[in-house]
Amino acid sequence: MALFVIASCQLMVVLDITIVNIALPHIQRSLDFSTTSLSWVVNAYTLTFGGLLLLGGRVGDILGRRRVFVFGVLLFVLASLLGGLSQNSWQLLAARALQGVGGAIASPTALALISTTFREGPERNRAFGVFAAVSAGGGAIGLLAGGMLVEWLNWRWVLFVNVPIGLLIVLATPRWIRESERHPGHFDLTGALASTIGMVLLVYGFIRAAQDGWRDGVTLAAFGAAVVVLLTFVLVERRSRQPITPLHMFADRNRAGTYGMMLSLAAAIFGMFFFLTLFVQNVLDFSPLQAGLAFLPVSAVIAVGAGLASQLLPKYGPKPFMVTGAILAATGLAWLTLTDVHSTYAGSILGPLLVFSLGMGMEFVSLTLMALSNVATHETGAASGLLNATQQVGGSLGLSILVTMFGTASNHEADKQIPAFLAQATRAERLRFERTGRLPPPYADEILTAGVSSAFVVAAIFTAIAAVIALLVIQVRPSDLERLQGGGMPTS
C-alpha cells in the first residue's frame, strides 16, 4: 500500500505533463495561443518542476519526507483547480507554474521514500521497477485520460481531475507511510532561484528564436542573460556549505553519465508526445479520444520493457539495458522522420511508437537504479531530486530546441505553400486567410508535417547521444551487481 500511494503521486505528477498535451489544440483555440507559444503550456509546468526539484528533495531531507510529500500534493491540487478555472492565457500559465512547484515538492520526496521504505536488493529493485514504469508510462496514460476528458467533458477537466486524486493521496499517506528521519540543514533558495530563472531564460531564447529568428535582439539578450544566471548558479553552489545541487555527485562517473543520458532521453520523449499529439489530431484528424487511444500501446510496451529490465538487472547489470534502450529509442524516432501527410497510424506511427517505448521502458529502470547507487541515506532526497530535475529540465530545454527546429522548417514550408494556396484560392478563401492567418488543409497539413519531421530528426540525435554516453561512460562494477542481488551493505 505504501508503494501504491507513492506510485499514485508520481503518476499524477508525470501524467499531468501529457494529459494537457491532448488538450493543446482545444486550449489553443479557447485561449488564443500560437503553435510555438503553445509549448509554454507544457514548459511553464516542467520548468518550475525541474528547476525546484532539487530544493524539493532538500526540503524533504530537512523537514521530514512524509509531511513535505503531503504539502506538495496539496499545493498541486490547489494549482490544478486554479488552472481549470483559467479564463485567459496568463492565468493558465501561472497555474501551470504553481503546479510545477507542487510537483517539485512531492515527486523527489516520493522517490526518496522508496529508498527509506524498502530494503536494498530485490525488494527495492521491484519497487524502483514499478516507480520507473509509472514515470515512463504515465505519459501515455495521461494522453488516454486526457482524450476521454476532452471528448466527454472539456479541456478544463484535464486539470480538475487532479483534485479528487490528490485529496485521496493526502488522506491515505498518514495511514501507510511512516515519517522519515529529519536531517538538520538549511535551504539553498539562491541556488534554486538561479537555476530556475536561468533555465526559463534559456528556454525562452529558443522559443523566441523559432518566432523571430536568431538575430532578434530579445533572443540574443535572453541567451546572454541565461548564461550569466547559470554561471552564477554554479558559483553559488560551489561556495555553499549545503548546496541545493551537491556537485560532488557528478564526481561519480556512472552517476554523471546517468544524468547526461536522462537529459537527452527526456528531450526526446517530451518532443515525441508534443508533436505526435498535434500530428494525429490536426493531420490524421483524430478526435481527442482517438488520439489518446493511439498512444495506449506506449504504456503497455513501456511496462514490458521496465519489467524485463528489473528482472534481468541483477544478473547482467544496467549497462546492456541502457545501451540497448537508447538504440531502440533512436531507431523509433528515426523511423518517425519518414512521416508525411499521406501517413497512416497503422502504417507509419504504431511501429515506431512500439520500438521507442520498449527502449524507454528499459532506460527508466536502469537510470533510476544507477542514479541512486552508492548514495548516502541522508542524500537520497537530493540524488532523486537531481535525477528528476535532469528529466524535467532536459524535457523543457529539449522541447524548446525541437520547437525551434519545428518553427524553422514549417516557416520554410510555408514559403512554398502560401503562394500555391493563393494561386488557386477563391476570393472568400483569401479573405479568410487574411483575417485569420491560417491556411486550410492540405496546405496547413504540409506545413505542420514538415516541421514535425524536422523535429523528429533532432529528437533521434538526442537519443543517439544517450546511446554513446551509455557505451563509453557507464561502467558496472562487481559491487554494483552484488547490491542489485541484495548482498551489498546499504550506504549510511
* pLDDT value of residue 467: 92
* pLDDT value of residue 488: 45
Which residues contact residue 435 at a Cβ distance below 8 angstroms, ignoring those fewer than 6 apart?
Answer: none
Residue 442: is the preceding peptide bond cis (ω within 30°)? yes
pLDDT, tens digit, 9 for 90 and up, residues 318-337:
888 889 999 999 999 999 98
Is the separation of the CB atoms in 451 and 311 below 8 Å? no
Is the separation of the CB atoms in 332 and 359 below 8 Å? yes
* DSSP conformational letter for 346: I
What percent of the chain is predicted at pLDDT more than 70?
84
pLDDT, tens digit, 9 for 90 and up, residues 35-68:
667 777 877 887 777 777 777 767 776 777 778 8
C-alpha 156/C-alpha 148 separation (Å) is 12
* pLDDT value of residue 491: 43
Q: Is the pLDDT of residue 489 over 50?
A: no
**371 against 72, higher pLDDT:** 72
Work out the pLDDT band at 487, boundaries 50, 70, 90. Answer: very low
Average pLDDT for 254-278: 86
Contacts made by residues 2-6, CB under 8 angstroms, sequence distance 24+: 2/113, 2/117, 2/176, 2/177, 3/114, 3/117, 3/118, 3/127, 3/130, 3/131, 4/176, 5/169, 5/172, 5/173, 5/176, 5/177, 6/110, 6/113, 6/114, 6/117, 6/131, 6/177
C-alpha 18/C-alpha 90 separation (Å) is 20
Which residues contact residue 167 at a Cβ distance below 8 angstroms, ignoring those fewer than 6 apart?
Answer: 77
Rg (CA), the chain: 22
Average pLDDT for 219-228: 89
**480 against 428, higher pLDDT:** 428
Average pLDDT for 23-30: 83
Q: Which residues of 385-414 are buried (b: 16+ CB within 10 A; e: fewer)?
A: bbbbbbbbbbbbbbbbbbbbbbbbbbeebb
C-alpha 463/C-alpha 330 separation (Å) is 5
* pLDDT value of residue 331: 94
Among 124-133, 166-175, 291-300, 307-316, whose mean pLDDT is lowest? Answer: 124-133
Other C-beta atoms closer than 10 Å to the C-beta of 154 total 14
Work out the pLDDT band at 492, boundaries 50, 70, 90. Answer: very low
Average pLDDT for 132-151: 74
Q: Is the pLDDT of residue 81 over 50?
A: yes
* pLDDT value of residue 139: 65
Is the separation of the CB atoms in 52 and 68 below 8 Å? no
Name residue, grid cell 545501451: 323
C-alpha 393/C-alpha 389 separation (Å) is 6
Q: Is the pLDDT of residue 368 over 50?
A: yes
Range ranked top by mean pLDDT from 96-100, 147-151, 236-240, 361-365: 96-100
Q: Is the pLDDT of residue 411 over 70?
A: yes
C-alpha 74/C-alpha 240 separation (Å) is 30
pLDDT, tens digit, 9 for 90 and up, residues 226-243:
899 889 888 887 887 767
What rounded mean pLDDT belongs to the chain?
80
Among 123, 147, 154, smallest CA distance to 280 is for: 147
pLDDT, tens digit, 9 for 90 and up, residues 195-211:
778 877 887 787 777 66
Among 77-81, 123-127, 298-302, whose mean pLDDT is lowest? Answer: 123-127
% helix, strand, coil for the chain, step of 5: 80, 0, 20
* pLDDT value of residue 329: 92
17's grid cell: 505533463
Which residues contact residue 364 at a Cβ distance below 8 angstroms, ignoring those fewer than 6 apart?
Answer: 132, 133, 135, 136, 302, 306
* pLDDT value of residue 95: 92
| pTM for this predicted structure | 0.74
Work out the pLDDT band at 77, boundaries 50, 70, 90. Answer: very high
Which residues contact residue 437 at a Cβ distance below 8 angstroms, ignoring those fewer than 6 apart?
Answer: none
Average pLDDT for 279-305: 84
Side-chain-facing half-sphere of 126: CA atoms under 13 Å: 8
Q: Angle CA(353)–CA(355)–CA(361) in degrees, nearest 5?
A: 95
**184 against 463, higher pLDDT:** 463
* pLDDT value of residue 379: 64
Among 60, 358, 21, smallest CA distance to 180 is for: 60
41's grid cell: 503550456
Among 330, 333, 351, smallest CA distance to 275 is for: 333
Is the separation of the CB atoms in 303 and 50 below 8 Å? no
Q: Is the pLDDT of residue 291 over 90?
A: no
What percent of the chain is predicted at pLDDT more than 90?
11
**488 against 425, higher pLDDT:** 425
Q: Is the pLDDT of residue 188 over 90?
A: no
Q: Is the pLDDT of residue 89 over 90?
A: no
Work out the pLDDT band at 136, boundaries 50, 70, 90. Answer: low
